[in-house]
Structure 1
Amino acid sequence: MEAAAIDIWALWWVWGLGAVALLILEIFAPGFLFLGFGVGAAVVAALMGVGFGPENAAVVAVIFAVVSLFAWLAMRQIFGVRKGQVKVWDKDINDDV
């Protein structure tokens, strides 16, 4: 008898662990680089946890990608570069000679 193959991408706790790992990684590499991916993985884990996640791994990957993109864009809009944050240099260090 063959054992039933477990599709690891269809397990909600795998996506949850991935979300936690990405959110921890964001602490070490700040700049909202991994935070959008962490939010995407958390949303996929929540959808699968309540039973709304699709069984097809390709559809799950598309949901993850779309949610991650929207999360990253939203955070970029909210926490992005503020006006006046860029330093403008009026004088060069070599001008005092």
Structure 2
Amino acid sequence: MADYLSLWWVWICIALALGVVELLAPGFIFLGFGLGALAMAGVVLLAPGINIPALLALFAVLSLIAWIILRMGFRKQSSGARIVTKDINDN
């Protein structure tokens, strides 16, 4: 019987499920895991002989890298909020 985590389409399904969870609970938490799962689909497709513990460790590393890149990319966005330093009532 084949290990299910060594099938590339399982990682695609995991990525889609994590994308749906991200839509339901926004905050860019699950998006990093979803991108990690999507990258794992490519890894499993190119190197199908990797064992399960190595796959899970690689998934963790790829998810962390994706999360860090997302944090750096979305940090540059501004909310448009203005910081008031002087009150009009101060004389």
TM class by smaller structure: 0.7 to 0.9
1:24: Cα distance to partner?
A: 1.3
Unaligned runs of 5+ in 1: 91-97
Alignment of 1:1-97 (within 5 A): 5-49=1-45, 51-80=46-75
CA RMSD of aligned residues (A): 2.3
Normalising by structure 2, report the TM-score.
0.78
Number of residue-to-residue matches in the alignment = 85
Q: Which 4+ residue blocks in structure 1 deviate beyond 3 angstroms? A: 81-90
1:10: Cα distance to partner?
A: 0.8
Unaligned runs of 5+ in 2: 86-91
Q: Do the aligned partners of 2:19 and 2:30 also contact (CA within 8 Å) in 1?
A: yes
**C-alpha separation between the residues in 2 aligned to 1:27 and 1:18?**
14
1:46: Cα distance to partner?
A: 1.4
Structure 1 or 2, whichever has the larger Rg, is: 1
1:84: Cα distance to partner?
A: 7.3
Q: Do the aligned partners of 1:23 and 1:38 also contact (CA within 8 Å) in 2?
A: yes
The equivalent of 2:88 in structure 1 is: none
Normalising by structure 1, report the TM-score.
0.74
The equivalent of 1:94 in structure 2 is: none
